[in-house]
Structure 1
């Protein structure tokens, strides 16, 4: 017999009814086609990296003990190292 069940599932949520992103969030989003990143993210949904100051990834060869000591300072070690380099440059008058 084909009839509507007495109690239908009301917990179902249509995936098309998701949260809409703002234009600002879309501007910061990563765009990818499959596993290939077409444009990397420029921030997160709540933070714009460009507004905080542009950052650039560089490679810097240092002694292994120095690298280990930097990493041991905690999860924000790269920002701390950048701050130390900035202070060093300021002292040099550059």
Structure 2
């Protein structure tokens, strides 16, 4: 069986077509001299989504099967709806 040839040539962007760097970009950039980092990047990009002001706790809760099945049958967002019911009970 003939093997499919895989293209190994990378798609390089022409550096002359890159947008110019603004002073803000230079201020955030990592500065290095040879292999030594003189000033690390400021870390404006972080991993994951931004932290919410209102955080929630992960809990393990045992519920009756029929109760859980009924909540799940109500469709997507059932956990949020349980949270709303509990919030109303706490605020009452």
TM-score, scaled to structure 2: 0.48
TM-score, scaled to structure 1: 0.47
